[in-house]
C-alpha cells in the first residue's frame, strides 16, 4: 500500500516539475517574441495539452469536458499550423520581390 502511494506522489511531483519548467520556458518565449502568433498559439496548445493530460487521468469528470478540451486543442493546433503557413508564405513572397528587384537593377 505504501509503495502505491509513493509511486503516485512521485508521478504527481514529476508532472508538477514538468509543468513548471514548461510554463517558465513558454512564458519567456512569449515575452521575447511579442505579437508572434505562431509562438502564442503553440504555447497555448502545449498548455491545453498539459491540462488535457492532467484532467484525462482524473476520474468522475463528465465526458463533455474532455471532448471540449480535445476540440480546443485541435483548434489551437490548426491555428498554429495556419499561422506558420502564413509566415512561410510571406517569407517566400518577400524573398521573391527582393530577387526580382535585384534582377531588374542588374539588367539596367
The residue ranges of every structural domain in the chain are: 2-107
Beta strands in 25-77 (DSSP E): none
Prediction pTM value: 0.65
How far, in Å, are 62, 81, 82, 90, 100 from residue 96 at the CA level? 52, 22, 21, 10, 6
Query: Measured at the alpha carbon of residue 96, what is the angle toward residues 90 and 101, in degrees to the nearest 5?
Result: 130
**pLDDT digits 0-9 by tens, 41-71:** 888 888 888 888 888 877 777 888 888 888 9
Question: What pLDDT shows up at residue 108?
Answer: 53
Q: Which three cell numbers stand for residue 29?
A: 518565449
Amino acid at each position: 500500500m505504501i509503495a502505491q502511494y509513493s509511486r503516485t506522489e512521485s508521478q504527481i511531483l514529476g508532472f508538477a516539475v514538468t509543468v513548471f519548467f514548461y510554463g517558465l520556458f513558454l512564458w519567456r518565449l512569449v515575452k521575447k517574441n511579442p505579437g508572434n502568433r505562431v509562438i502564442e498559439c503553440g504555447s497555448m496548445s502545449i498548455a491545453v495539452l498539459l491540462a488535457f493530460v492532467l484532467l484525462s487521468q482524473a476520474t468522475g469528470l463528465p465526458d463533455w469536458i474532455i471532448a471540449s478540451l480535445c476540440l480546443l486543442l485541435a483548434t489551437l493546433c490548426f491555428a498554429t499550423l495556419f499561422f506558420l503557413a502564413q509566415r512561410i508564405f510571406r517569407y517566400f513572397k518577400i524573398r521573391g520581390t527582393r530577387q526580382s528587384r535585384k534582377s531588374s537593377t542588374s539588367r539596367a
